[in-house]
């Protein structure tokens, strides 16, 4: 993409931000992205989320549970327990090095049926906060435990700037939220999250694999033309949780330390959300890729059925999802 085209995309997003500024005199009407307050999500926090598309709640998850879930991750990687429906993903830079276990896998997905890791998804205080964003009926739609490896010099441990809605064939976007918890201290050195505040008020943009010299991990799609723009880094302490909107542009840097950086996350959606047809849209490429991967594993399903298979009701009533 040309510099001019990238600049035009950013101009469009900035226009959406300007058009969506909050009016402090409108009371509850100013809250589009949140539904209610909570002792851990004050009105000031809600206003911050409305303006920026993310908010951090400090020390939400107990350290002993995070340690328990870290051990579960290692046991799954070492094949000490049945992985069930969990998908294990290998970092591009490590796949051919001969390492095994925890050192080989940079991520596991779809752990909502694992009895131990489900404790994170259903943690009561976490779900109470999720209810402030999506309401009382909530489904877990996408789960990840991320094990960002020390970068081998290839910078494949980076995650390109992207919007999570790119992957989701359900709407509305405003009734979807991610909870992302640091399982240990997260810093700029080990690849903390970076966000472009306010971009949640924009639109879903086209994504593709970035043209990185040493390649890019599977499914790590990125927005074209945003690599050089200013970002807000989000260092976090163990147990801190950031909640963010699925249109917020975000990514993460390379892990330049010698240790792994773990985080655990779940995307929740109101079970009132509805399925959409992504054919002919910017999301068709990811749908085709996911459907092709499922076919290689002996399963012929369309993208909606794949996501239905991955979804689990966490609280309230099952309605559409």
pLDDT at 82: 94
Please, how many CA atoms are within 13 Å of residue 212, restricted to the half-sphere of its CB?
24
- Rounded Cα–Cα distance for residues 66 and 152 (Å): 26
The yes-or-no verdict on residue 137 having pLDDT over 80 is yes
**Of 39-48, 100-109, 306-315, which gets the smallest average pLDDT?**
100-109
Q: Return the axis-axis angle of helices 284-296 and 303-310, rounded to nearest 10°.
A: 70
Report d(CA 33, CA 175) in Å as an integer.
8
Q: What is the pLDDT of residue 213?
A: 57
Structure tokens at 28: 């509850």
Rounded Cα–Cα distance for residues 106 and 203 (Å): 29
Can you tell me the distance from the alpha carbon of 220 to that of 94, in angstroms, rounded to the nearest whole number? 16
Domain boundaries, the chain: 34-315
Q: Is the pLDDT higher at 226 or at 249?
A: 249
- The pLDDT of residue 160: 85
Distance CA 165, CA 247 (A): 6
**Confidence band for 9, pLDDT divided at 50, 70 and 90:** very low
Residue 24, pLDDT > 70, answer: no
Q: What is the pLDDT of residues 148-176, one digit of tens each?
A: 888 777 666 777 899 999 999 999 999 99
Q: What is the DSSP letter of 151?
A: P
Residues 215/219/225/230 CA torsion (nearest 10 deg): -90
Q: Quote the CA–CA distance of 145 and 71 in Å, as a whole number.
A: 12
Cβ-proximal residues to 221 (8 Å cutoff; 6+ apart), any chain: 160, 162, 166, 207, 208, 209, 285, 286
Give the HSE-up count for residue 96: Cα atoms under 13 Å, Cβ half-sphere.
2
Predicted confidence (pLDDT) per residue in 50-61, tens digit: 999 999 999 999
* pLDDT above 60 for 108: yes
What's the pLDDT at 150? 85
Q: What pLDDT does residue 149 have?
A: 85
> What's the rounded mean pLDDT across residues 123-140?
98
State both tokens at 186.
Answer: 């997260």
Cβ(145)–Cβ(117) under 8 Å?
yes
What does DSSP assign to residue 24?
A: T
| 3-class DSSP state of 242 | strand
Q: Say what the pLDDT of residue 268 is.
A: 98
CA distance 119 to 133: 20
Domain 34-315 has CATH 3.40.50.10680: no
């Amino acid at each position: 993409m040309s510099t001019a085209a990238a600049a035009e995309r950013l101009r469009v997003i900035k226009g959406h931000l300007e058009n969506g500024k909050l009016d402090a005199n409108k009371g509850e009407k100013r809250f589009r992205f949140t539904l209610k307050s909570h002792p851990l999500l004050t009105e000031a926090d809600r206003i911050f989320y409305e303006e920026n598309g993310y908010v951090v709640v400090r020390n939400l998850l107990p350290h002993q549970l995070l340690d328990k879930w870290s051990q579960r991750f290692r046991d799954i990687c070492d094949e000490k327990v049945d992985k069930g429906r969990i998908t294990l993903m290998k970092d591009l830079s490590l796949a051919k090095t001969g390492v095994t276990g925890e050192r080989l896998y940079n991520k596991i997905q779809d752990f909502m049926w694992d009895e131990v890791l489900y404790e994170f998804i259903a943690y009561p205080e976490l779900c109470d906060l999720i209810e402030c964003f999506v309401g009382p009926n909530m489904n877990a739609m996408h789960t990840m435990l991320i094990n960002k490896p020390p970068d081998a010099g290839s910078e494949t441990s980076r995650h390109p700037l992207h919007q999570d809605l790119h992957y989701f064939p359900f709407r509305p976007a405003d009734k979807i939220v991610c909870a992302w918890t640091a399982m240990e201290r997260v810093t700029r050195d080990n690849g903390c999250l970076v966000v472009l505040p306010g971009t949640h008020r924009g639109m879903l943009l086209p994504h593709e694999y970035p043209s990185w010299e040493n390649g890019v991990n599977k499914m790590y799609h990125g927005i074209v033309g945003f690599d050089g723009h200013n970002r807000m880094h989000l260092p976090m302490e163990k147990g801190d949780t950031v909640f963010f909107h699925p249109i917020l542009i975000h990514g993460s840097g390379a892990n330049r330390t010698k240790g792994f950086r773990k985080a655990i996350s779940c995307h929740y959606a109101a079970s009132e959300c509805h399925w959409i047809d992504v054919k002919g849209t910017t999301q068709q490429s990811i749908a085709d890729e996911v459907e092709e991967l499922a076919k290689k594993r002996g399963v012929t399903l369309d993208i909606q059925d794949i996501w239905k298979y991955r979804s689990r009701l966490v609280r309230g009533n099952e309605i559409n999802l």
